[in-house]
Each structure stands twice: as C-alpha cells, then as structure tokens.
Amino acid sequence: MGKKKNDAKETYREIDIIDLKVAFGKFYALKGVSFFANKKEFLGVIGASGAGKTTVLRILTGQIRPTAGKAFVGGYDVTKKGNLISLLVGYVPQLEHLSLYYDFSALQNAQLFGRLYGLRPKEIEERSRNVLEILGFDEDLMTKTVSRLSGGERKRVSICLGMIHDPKMLLLDEPTTGLDAHLRHETLNYLKELNYRLGTTMVIISHDLEIVDYCTRVVLLEDGEVSQFGTPQELISSLPGKGESIKVILHAMTPEIRHRVASLPGVQYTAQAGRNAVKLFIDNPEDNLLPVIQQLNEMKMPFEGVEIVEADFFDYFQVKPWKDNEIGGTAK
C-alpha cells in the first residue's frame, strides 16, 4: 500500500479522534469525544454498556459517518479514504460465530476471508500460518475444524482473520467477553505478542478493567463522553498522592470503621484494599504518614500496619473516573 505524496495526510497520529459526534436520529451516541493513539500503541476503550464503544469502532472502520467532528486512521480522514481505510484497519467483531465457518479449519477460514481482500492463496497461507503461530497454534490446531476448537481458540482464529491483510491496526470489539479469567489473560497476552512482534497498533474495547494492565493508553467512555483519557500511569498519578497512597491495615473492617478512617484530616478518597485494609488518598503521603498514625492512636483505632504503597488502576477506578464521584459518589 504505497503512501504517495498526493494522499495528503492531514495528521500523523495513528488514530486521532477529534470532537467526534455521532447521532442516531435525535439521540447522540457520541457527544464530542477526543482521544488518540500513536503507532504501535495498545489503546483500551473502556465503558459500560451503551457508552458508545462500538460506535467508535464503526466510525474507525468507516461503517458509519460522523455527524460532526473528525476521525483519522493512519493519518487519513475516515470519510475520505474508504478503500484505503479498509486496508489499513483489521476488525475483530464481538461475536466470532458471525465471521467464522465452523465446518472449516482455521487455515481454510483464512483462505475464504483472505480472498475478500484479493490476496493470493499462497500469500494467505503464509500470512495465516505466521499469525496463527504467534497466537500459539500448532499444525493440529490450524487444521482442526473450528467446531472442535475451544472458545479461546476460536477467538484466536477470528483474531487471525482480522490480521489476514496485514493491517497497520487491529480493532477488537470485546475480545475477552464471555471467556473465563484464564482465557481472558491468555487472549490479551497473545494480542500483546502480535502487537510486539508485528508492530500492529491495537484498539481494544472492553467493559472490563482487567485490560488496563496491557494498555499503553486508556480512554474511559461514559454516556457518549470521554470521562478520562491518558496512560494508566497518568491517570493514577492524577489522584491525590500522585501514584502513592497510605495503606492502613486494620483488625476488622466495618462501614463505620471505614467512615472514621476516611474522615481523617486531609484524606480525599479511600479505596478498599483487601478484606481488612483501606488505602487513603491524601496529598503528600510521605509527610502525612506519621500524622495518620498519631490520629489513629488518638481515636483509639487498633491497626496492624500503616505503610506507603503504590496506587493501582483498580484504586483509581474505585475513587475517580465516574462523573458521580465528582459530586460525592463512592469517594471517601
């Protein structure tokens, strides 16, 4: 796919979404969202059902057009370069049974799918073997009919189909939904491997926070708006304590005890950290460690330990991102 000068790239980010609005009739599924991913990044698009996640993918694959705003992939406006976009972008739909022929093997599915892109059988064979190998398939798995593969293996076949034409970026709609915890991590590890070995930019939709550990950048969508966008570390560092918190391990935890600990001076948020522990989000945790211990003693609150620990994304999610939290919500 030649990048000729007259293709007139308007931006150089791999994915760039700028004040994008999408209306279905009077209803706005996306109300002006902006976010981006650079080449080779692993972008997580996270949100509850109905937040607008699939709508974002449908824009990026050119299936629907923006009502307002812009979307670019590989530097090209998605509304202007339809054919080019479909070569640049691979797509793995949420329900793989819609794209796979169960009576055929992974390699045969790849042949059927690859032909849609006008690829030659030999090219398809080489390409699919290479991708399936990275996805952990041996000869036996490649040649078994899909009906005899496990759920996780089928998911990997559909990922291979999305990669068949060597796209620069792969968009995946909830690739881990419906898999058990082990298979979810296995699938994410294989995607990370593709990302690393082939340099494919990944955009992965999920309503599951688990994916954050794999992402270089995360966007949280809420009711058609971006509630948070950044690298996982940037988001965690935006909390009081800038990525650190004070963990208090107590003898017992009741709502009343949690409330009392949360009301210590300077504590802005608390997050549950195991059965009997709570993390306190407070400015300058190092300076506040001793005062916290003193205050716990003063209020005669027995504790087993108080220490500075790193904050993680699960803490972040407990205290920060949802709009409700701005006005109280579950904070504190």
Ligand X SMILES: Nc1ncnc2c1ncn2[C@@H]1O[C@H](COP(=O)(O)OP(=O)(O)OP(=O)(O)O)[C@@H](O)[C@H]1O
**Among Mg ion, ligand X, none, what does residue 196 contact (CB within 5–8 Å per kind)?**
none
Task: Name the token pair of 188.
Answer: 């994410």
199 binds, among ligand X, Mg ion, none (CB under 5 to 8 A by kind): none
52 touches ligand X by CB under 6 A: yes
Instruction: List the one residue out of 6, 17, 34 whose CA is nearest residue 73.
Output: 17
Shortest separation between residue 29's beta carbon and ligand X, angstroms: 3
Q: Which of 47, 93, 232, 285 binds ligand X (CB under 6 A)?
A: 47
206 sits near Mg ion (criterion: CB under 5 A): no
Where helices occur in 78-206 by DSSP H, the ranges are 82-88, 106-115, 121-134, 139-143, 151-162, 181-198
Contact 251, 303 (CB under 8 A): yes
Q: How would DSSP label each residue in 29-97?
A: EEEEEEEEE-TT-EEEEEE-TTSSHHHHHHHHTTSS--SEEEEEETTEETTT-HHHHHHHEEEE-S-GG
Stretch that binds ligand X, among 49-57, 103-111, 178-186, 194-202 (CB under 6 A): 49-57
Question: Which CB, 57 or 163, lies closer to Mg ion?
Answer: 57
Q: Give residues 180-209 in contact with ligand X (rule: CB under 6 A).
A: 207
39 binds, options Mg ion, ligand X, none, Cβ within 5 to 8 A by partner type: none
- Toward ligand X, which CB reaches closer, 57 or 146? 57
Instruction: Give the binding range for ligand X (CB under 6 A) out of 52-60, 139-147, 212-220, 270-278.
Output: 52-60
Q: Residue 57 CB, nearest distance to ligand X (Å)?
A: 8
* Contact status: 45 vs ligand X (CB under 6 A): no
In eight-state DSSP terms, residue 296 is H
* Single-letter code of the amino acid located at 294: Q
Partner that binds at residue 114, options Mg ion, ligand X, none, CB closer than 5 to 8 Å by kind: none
CA distance 247 to 263: 15
Which DSSP letter does residue 241 get? T
207: partner contacted, choices Mg ion, ligand X, none (Cβ within 5-8 A by kind): ligand X
Question: Under the criterion CB under 6 A, does residue 95 sit at the interface with ligand X?
Answer: no
**Max intra-chain CA distance, the chain:** 77
DSSP single-letter state for residue 132: H
Question: Where does this chain touch ligand X (CB under 6 A) — which range of 46-54, 71-79, 246-254, 281-289?
Answer: 46-54
Contact status, residue 81 vs residue 61, Cβ threshold 8 Å: no
Contact positions vs Mg ion (CB under 5 A): 54
Contact positions vs ligand X (CB under 6 A): 24, 27, 29, 47, 49-55, 207
